[in-house]
Structure 1
Amino acid sequence: MLGQDPERNMHMGLTGWHPYCARPNRPVQFPAGRNRMGLVAAWLLTLLAIAGGAMAQTAPVSELHDLIALAEQHEQAHHWLAAAAVYVQLVERDPDNVAWREALRRCLTQERIRQRYQDTRLRAWLGQVPLDDALAVYGEFLGYAEHLFFGKASPATMWRRSCEQLDWALDNPAFVELAFHQPPDSECKQRIRELLRQAHAIAPQSFQELLQQLGRQARRLYVREQMRPALTVWECLAASCEALDAYGEYLTPTALLLEKMLADPHTASPGLEISPTDHGLIVAAVVPGSDAARSGVPIGSRLIAVDGEPVEQESLEGFWLRLLGRKGSTVAITVITPAGQTRQWTLSRGVAMPASLSRLTMLDAMHGVAYVRIESFQPGTVREFDRALQELSSQGMRALVLDLRSNRGGLVRAALELADRFIPEGTLAVLQSRLPESSHQYLAQRGDDWYLPVVVLVDRETASAAEILAGALQAHARTGRIQAVIVGQPTRGKGEVQYDLPLARGQAGASRMTVAQWILPDGEAVSGRGLQPDVLVKPTLPGDTHTQALLADESAMQQAIEHAILEVARREALRLLKVE
């Protein structure tokens, strides 16, 4: 049944837009709908976006040793984003180079550490929390890991990751500022690293042993090197959250507040698109038609204040918490323009969630083949979809091409409700968790609102909720209940479900943790395997002379590939309609 909803606080990982995440080669922009993007993956995508722009603006460097030297230079200057951009290029040259991949991971971690300890709410919490209370919060996290985590949590792995991350944090000014009353010299850092090396060899076998070991090491580092024990515990907490799996992460108190703000459909932005850099937040673009566009906010401006409050040392989550607000309200921004002028604008927040459906049309009006593209699943997606199909039906729709390419998911409930429009009976999906009371079987209950052939387009970026919709249609098509075919490339395989589990009732932030997974109607899990299309289509062009000429024009090439893919989808729709 679709009545009871066990999905409260549910996250499906790489889904939708996020204020501190960009798709590759695009600036960061206001999210389309509720946030479903884990920060670990978010930062990686952001850095890939930055890498594309940063390396394009850097003079070509052909020699590997020059690139390596440049990356090391950025790291020494604590420019983690710039260093990561160089390591991305190195990894692209040699994906099997373990050292470069590890260096990229180190830079990603350092940037997360910097952002974490710029959070003003977390800084206030850590400034007054005693060691026993910090350990109690870590114990609360371990309780979640032991009883809720959908997987096998390894105390030894969590401990090793904690020691490693503490070692790296010693080179991060944001951590060092809070962890020590006086900046440690190189000899002090070396002694701490020796203590961490010894601790790294310890392999706790239980969560209780892990907690006891953390308490001993925190006290030891304080007594010997005056390193504040609460900071030791907190960095180990963040490392342990990430050590559980690829989607685990620690959310600061401000990040948790931002999640709640994003869940409010009345939240809006003034229309700024932002790119984070090592030197601050830059206006990368403005949304057409927004107040930022009408006011002429210059592209490339560096943001220095929001409503008179400086943001140069603010965390990224803190910045967005200040910039976003209720639709129709105003916000004052202060920037330094590319010309070096300090300017201020008061902007109206008017850019709310973009539409879920980016395109609808008749792909083949003669035979009634309609086309709808869904960018993400949001609270209004089902309503938009129903209106779109009513309109297309009035134009003679007999078959539908449903485009889910690059759809990273969103609200699973919306995807299930769309599946319920096409599937007359049976299971839509099953939510499987360690707790029987949290597991749930979703059944079709509306009947067949739209009993027509469906061609679903997918690619490697199709994930989570989009995979659940496509997988439900594919499974029921194979039983003969409906007519549907999946066309494109294998999907991402993201079926894990994350909850934001509050720590100290949210005052200490939250642990985003995988607590369940989705199972398709055929009994197969989405996680790890993804969906295999019924018709495999690779986004390539033939090698004839005309096609080769297109390669000189990237836009023309992409249009030709898109046309070829849509033609395959159209032909599959005609096949289902039995049109010769």
Structure 2
Amino acid sequence: MTLRFNSPLCIVALAALTVIPTVGRAQQPLLNAPALNSGAAINHGDLAQALEQGSQLEQQKRWAEAVLHYEDALKANPERPELKQRLTMVKAHYDVARRYNDGSYTKAIHTLTEVEALQIYEDVLLKVSAHYVTAPKWQDLVRQGTTNLGAALTEPVFASSNRLNLTAEQHAQLQRDIRFWTDRQPIDDRRAAKDLVEAIARTIKHRYSIAPQAIILEYASGAAAALDEYSSFLTDSQMDEIFAQIEGNFVGLGVELKTEPAGLLVVNVISGGPAQQGGVRAGDRIVQVDEKSSDQVSPDQLADLLRGTEGSLVSVTLRNPTGELRTLKLARRRVEVPSVEDVRMIDDTGVGYFKLTSFQKTTSRDVDAALWSLHKQGMRSLIMDLRGNPGGLLTAAVDVADKFVKDGLIVETRGRSNRENASHWGKTENTWGMPLVVLIDHDSASASEILAGAIHDHHRGTVVGEKSYGKGSVQGIFPLAVNHTGIRLTTAQWFTPNGTAISKKGIDPDIVVRSVAKPVPGQPVAAGDDAILRAGLQAATNLTTASK
């Protein structure tokens, strides 16, 4: 399949294959602080504690953790305006720091002309106007750009990259200026937004000698961030990562990482990749890359240092769970990432099992291979494990559902314009008819929920586990006209065959299982140690018996 850059790639979730994002995903909190009381309103004492903990994280510039902290606090009480304001601000800081630690972005800042930067901003506004799921509020988009710029002005990486040399008085005045310029007139359409941002950038250049390109790109990023938690501006390298994920391959070491304050936790090592061949194991922590240690740079910066060109070498220092250190020199190369893992017969009664980790271009082929392998081993029923699966391509989810649903609607998408409305139907031929169990948990999101929802609504199988994440929207990846940048936009909401909107609700399992311990990613699971798998095995056994 050829990727066409003049049309969006429709995705229902994205997750980096080399680094598990700590923002915008259903992740466990990274905080060491006590957890808030989820599911109940925060009382004044708890709210004060939440704000104090968040303030401490902000002072330490631990932006990723601060984002997760305020998101957790808002889950407990979603209407607290002070929590929403703090979350907006820390997200702005996180985004600025992330972009300026991205070499492709800093290169763009110094090579783009002012005209090209304005083209990017104008293209962002055009894509939002044409494709976003609801009509945009232009004033909000510009205000979020101002918030981004205000955060950037306080970040050392922004100051050093743009050679800022402002006095404290000049800095305070500039912050007052950008707020005044943004609020002084209504912004009713994208042309007014573009004209105002152009005027702001030129005024700042004249008064404070800051490159207008840097100003304009903060507004471009802010415009996307103002829309929802899934929309975002994409740098050159982020675009490359997305396409690598969709294709199912990337250049790297072959590890999945979770960013933590103590370094990068290796949560999965991909079979056949440089990391596995070099002896990296799940549970190791990367504490140094080349000459930079986790004490010197942020976890995100450490992760960025792992990236490089195919064939290049990188030195990686790891600490194992017992505290022992070792240093490896690994060669980066192209790694094929399977979307199906742990294919096996799970007991002697004919129950087959596989784990579906993501939805990418190779997923339909990978699932076919797993099914035929299990069929040859005498499979009589199947457990399909979607736990922890964050989603991926909409078409891949539909294709997998179509292997089990004989006919009927699989998923419906509804957007602001007719071109975003679509109904995806199953075909009657070439479907598998064995009894089916689908495992989900609260980290099963988006494309996983499309598949689980179709199986549930068509009574094709039994869904076992925890309520899923509730990510019920479709995103499109829209390349921009300049510098291989792009924008990710929410273009539609999706609905299960019964017409149920999943956003913020999730899929309810047929058999609810509360699980405390989670399987280790990349490691085979045993039913005796896994309550959800144990319940799934019992359900599969019952279905097999009933089908005799």
2:512 matched residue in structure 1: 537
* Larger CA deviation: 238-247 vs 194-203: 194-203
- Mapping 1:98-117, distance limit 5 Å: 99=82, 102-103=85-86, 105-117=88-100
1:514 matched residue in structure 2: 490
Alignment counterpart, residue 390 of structure 1, candidates 367, 372, 376: 372
Q: 1:131 to 1:278 in 2, by over 3 A?
A: farther
- 1:99 Cα deviation from its structure 2 partner: 4.4
1:467 matched residue in structure 2: 449
Alignment counterpart, residue 491 of structure 1, candidates 465, 468, 474: 468
1:347 matched residue in structure 2: 331
SS in 1 for 2:20: coil
Distance between the aligned counterparts of 2:484 and 2:374, measured in 1? 50
Distance between the aligned counterparts of 1:147 and 1:351, measured in 2? 36
2:219 matched residue in structure 1: 236
2:344 matched residue in structure 1: 360
Work out whether residues 105 and 236 of structure 2, in 8 Å CA contact, stay in contact via their aligned partners in 1. yes
Structure 2 counterpart of 1:131, one-letter code = E
Q: If the length of structure 2 is used for normalisation, what is the TM-score?
A: 0.78
1:184 matched residue in structure 2: 166
Distance between the aligned counterparts of 2:265 and 2:443, measured in 1? 27
2:536 matched residue in structure 1: 566
Find the structure with the greater CA-based Rg. 1
Q: 1:15 to 1:440 in 2, by over 3 A?
A: same
Q: 1:360 to 1:11 in 2, by over 3 A?
A: farther
Alignment counterpart, residue 333 of structure 1, candidates 299, 303, 314: 314
- Mapping 1:275-294, distance limit 5 Å: 276=259, 282=264, 284=266, 287=269, 291-292=274-275
Alignment counterpart, residue 153 of structure 1, candidates 136, 139, 147: 136
- Mapping 1:126-275, distance limit 5 Å: 126-179=109-162, 181-201=163-183, 202-272=185-255, 274=257
1:29 matched residue in structure 2: none
SS in 2 for 1:116: helix
Q: 1:560 to 1:531 in 2, by over 3 A?
A: closer
- 1:118 Cα deviation from its structure 2 partner: 3.1
Distance between the aligned counterparts of 2:363 and 2:235, measured in 1? 30
* Residues 222-254 of structure 1, C-alpha deviations (whole Å, 9 max, x = no match): 333333322221111101101112211011122
* Larger CA deviation: 151-160 vs 411-420: 411-420
2:503 matched residue in structure 1: 527
Structure 2 counterpart of 1:51, one-letter code = L
- 1:79 Cα deviation from its structure 2 partner: 4.8
Q: How many residues align?
A: 519
2:383 matched residue in structure 1: 401
Distance between the aligned counterparts of 1:433 and 1:69, measured in 2? 40
Structure 2 counterpart of 1:20, one-letter code = V
2:520 matched residue in structure 1: none
1:20 matched residue in structure 2: 19
Distance between the aligned counterparts of 2:395 and 2:312, measured in 1? 33
Distance between the aligned counterparts of 1:272 and 1:576, measured in 2? 42
Work out whether residues 415 and 492 of structure 2, in 8 Å CA contact, stay in contact via their aligned partners in 1. yes
* Residues 472-493 of structure 1, C-alpha deviations (whole Å, 9 max, x = no match): 223333xxxxx43433333323
- 1:194 Cα deviation from its structure 2 partner: 1.5
1:441 matched residue in structure 2: 423
Work out whether residues 389 and 448 of structure 2, in 8 Å CA contact, stay in contact via their aligned partners in 1. yes
Work out whether residues 291 and 350 of structure 1, in 8 Å CA contact, stay in contact via their aligned partners in 2. no
Structure 2 counterpart of 1:467, one-letter code = E
Q: 1:165 to 1:347 in 2, by over 3 A?
A: closer
- 1:273 Cα deviation from its structure 2 partner: 5.3
Structure 2 counterpart of 1:333, one-letter code = V
Q: If the length of structure 1 is used for normalisation, what is the TM-score?
A: 0.74
1:546 matched residue in structure 2: none
Distance between the aligned counterparts of 1:416 and 1:537, measured in 2? 25
Structure 1 counterpart of 2:31, one-letter code = A
SS in 2 for 1:461: coil
Distance between the aligned counterparts of 1:517 and 1:419, measured in 2? 18
Work out whether residues 477 and 487 of structure 2, in 8 Å CA contact, stay in contact via their aligned partners in 1. yes
Work out whether residues 383 and 540 of structure 2, in 8 Å CA contact, stay in contact via their aligned partners in 1. yes
Unaligned runs of 5+ in 2: 36-45, 517-524
Work out whether residues 84 and 104 of structure 1, in 8 Å CA contact, stay in contact via their aligned partners in 2. yes
* Residues 34-69 of structure 1, C-alpha deviations (whole Å, 9 max, x = no match): xxxxxx515x84xx56436x999xxxxxx9999977
SS in 2 for 1:240: helix
SS in 2 for 1:504: coil
Distance between the aligned counterparts of 2:132 and 2:440, measured in 1? 30
Unaligned runs of 5+ in 1: 24-39, 57-62, 478-482, 542-554
Structure 2 counterpart of 1:223, one-letter code = H
* Residues 396-422 of structure 1, C-alpha deviations (whole Å, 9 max, x = no match): 544433332322222333322222222
Distance between the aligned counterparts of 2:526 and 2:425, measured in 1? 44
- 1:104 Cα deviation from its structure 2 partner: 5.1
Distance between the aligned counterparts of 1:64 and 1:432, measured in 2? 37
2:439 matched residue in structure 1: 457
- 1:523 Cα deviation from its structure 2 partner: 3.7
Work out whether residues 9 and 499 of structure 1, in 8 Å CA contact, stay in contact via their aligned partners in 2. yes
SS in 2 for 1:422: coil
Distance between the aligned counterparts of 1:514 and 1:205, measured in 2? 21
Work out whether residues 201 and 215 of structure 2, in 8 Å CA contact, stay in contact via their aligned partners in 1. yes
1:27 matched residue in structure 2: none
Q: 1:385 to 1:5 in 2, by over 3 A?
A: farther
Structure 2 counterpart of 1:460, one-letter code = H
Work out whether residues 372 and 403 of structure 1, in 8 Å CA contact, stay in contact via their aligned partners in 2. yes
Q: 1:556 to 1:322 in 2, by over 3 A?
A: closer
Work out whether residues 139 and 211 of structure 1, in 8 Å CA contact, stay in contact via their aligned partners in 2. yes
* Larger CA deviation: 101-110 vs 133-142: 101-110
* Residues 2-28 of structure 1, C-alpha deviations (whole Å, 9 max, x = no match): 9x99997535354555323258xxxxx
Alignment counterpart, residue 290 of structure 2, candidates 304, 314, 317: 304
SS in 1 for 2:213: helix
* Larger CA deviation: 488-497 vs 556-565: 556-565
CA RMSD of aligned residues (A): 4.5
- 1:263 Cα deviation from its structure 2 partner: 4.1
- 1:312 Cα deviation from its structure 2 partner: 9.2
2:42 matched residue in structure 1: none
Q: 1:85 to 1:141 in 2, by over 3 A?
A: closer
Work out whether residues 433 and 439 of structure 1, in 8 Å CA contact, stay in contact via their aligned partners in 2. yes
Distance between the aligned counterparts of 2:51 and 2:473, measured in 1? 36
- 1:526 Cα deviation from its structure 2 partner: 3.7
Distance between the aligned counterparts of 2:18 and 2:537, measured in 1? 35
- Identity in percent: 24
* Residues 251-295 of structure 1, C-alpha deviations (whole Å, 9 max, x = no match): 11222233334444453533455555679x657578387544554
- 1:150 Cα deviation from its structure 2 partner: 1.6
Work out whether residues 254 and 318 of structure 1, in 8 Å CA contact, stay in contact via their aligned partners in 2. no
1:550 matched residue in structure 2: none
- 1:510 Cα deviation from its structure 2 partner: 0.8
* Residues 310-361 of structure 1, C-alpha deviations (whole Å, 9 max, x = no match): 99999678545416x4xxxx43113567799996724364753145133432
- 1:434 Cα deviation from its structure 2 partner: 4.5
Distance between the aligned counterparts of 1:83 and 1:492, measured in 2? 21
